[in-house]
């Protein structure tokens, strides 16, 4: 019989592929991102529910999968973790900053286990965005810096790794050829005051 994690891996691989989803910058099959998140989570825990949720963390947002589907197939704990990691719709939000603040509050209320998975997600996404889209990375890095400030209950090792990854990205963007001034990052961060 397959383990919970293996079932989650297979399910996530199938539904992301069926949705035609690819990684934005590299056009790789989307599953490379959940796989990277899982390995980061595995570096700090062997909790099978967390590893399953790491495989499944984007399925509700990005495919036809519902939280009910996840709970039915993988159990209440995995369903709850995926729910905490799923960006809730913000139809009343006027702009990106307002939507992001609502999402930051949602993840700040998540369990330590879900916060740990979110930190792994941030680490992997940050690496790709800084490498492939430095213009958007300016905004993204500020947002993630604000968000990880609210994820203090997540694993301390991954929290530190996320902080270093974000700081390195900002330092890179302050250098040539980008030359983004420090004051720009400060002004941008003020848009997300909670």
Cα distance between residue 55 and residue 67, in whole Å: 14
Please list the residues that pair with 29 across neighbouring strands.
22
More confident of the two residues 93 and 149: 149
pLDDT at 99: 85
- Spell out the SS3 assignment of 27-84: CCECCHHHHHHHHHHHCCCCCHHHHHHHHHCCHHHHCCCCHHHHHHHHCHHHHHHHHH
pLDDT at 96: 85
Question: What's the chain's average pLDDT?
Answer: 94
pLDDT in tens, 114-145: 999 999 999 999 999 999 999 999 999 999 99
pLDDT at 93: 65
pTM of the full predicted structure? Answer: 0.95
Map tokens 């958007």 to a residue: 136
Please list the residues that pair with 22 across neighbouring strands.
29
Q: Give the relative orientation of helices 32-42 and 4-18 as an angle to the nearest 10 degrees.
A: 160
Hey, CA dihedral for 120, 129, 145, 30, is it positive or negative? negative
Q: In the 8-state DSSP scheme, what is residue 181? A: -
Q: How confident is the model at residue 182 (pLDDT cuts 50, 70, 90)?
A: very high
Burial zone of 2 (CB within 10 Å; 0-12 exposed, 13-18 middle, 19+ buried): exposed
Mean pLDDT of 53-65: 96
User: Is the pLDDT score of 101 beyond 90?
Assistant: no
pLDDT at 1: 87
Q: Give the relative orientation of helices 76-85 and 96-108 as an angle to the nearest 10 degrees.
A: 150
pLDDT at 95: 85
Residues with catalytic roles:
61-62
């Amino acid at each position: 019989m397959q383990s919970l994690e293996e079932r989650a891996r297979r399910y996530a691989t199938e539904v992301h592929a069926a949705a035609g989803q690819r990684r934005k910058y590299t056009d790789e099959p989307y599953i490379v991102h959940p796989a990277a998140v899982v390995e980061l989570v595995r570096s700090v825990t062997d909790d099978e529910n967390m590893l399953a949720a790491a495989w499944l963390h984007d399925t509700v947002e990005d495919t036809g999968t519902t939280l009910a589907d996840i709970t039915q197939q993988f159990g209440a704990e995995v369903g709850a973790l995926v729910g905490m990691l799923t960006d809730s719709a913000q139809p009343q939000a006027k702009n990106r900053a307002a939507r992001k603040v609502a999402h930051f509050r949602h993840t700040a209320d998540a369990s330590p286990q879900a916060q740990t998975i979110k930190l792994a997600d941030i680490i992997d996404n940050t690496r790709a965005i800084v490498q492939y889209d430095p213009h958007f990375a300016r905004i993204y890095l500020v947002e993630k810096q604000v968000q990880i400030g609210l994820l203090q209950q997540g694993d301390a090792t991954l929290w530190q790794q996320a902080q270093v990854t974000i700081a390195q990205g900002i330092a890179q963007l302050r250098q040539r050829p980008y030359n983004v001034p420090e004051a720009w990052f400060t002004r941008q961060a003020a848009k997300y005051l909670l």
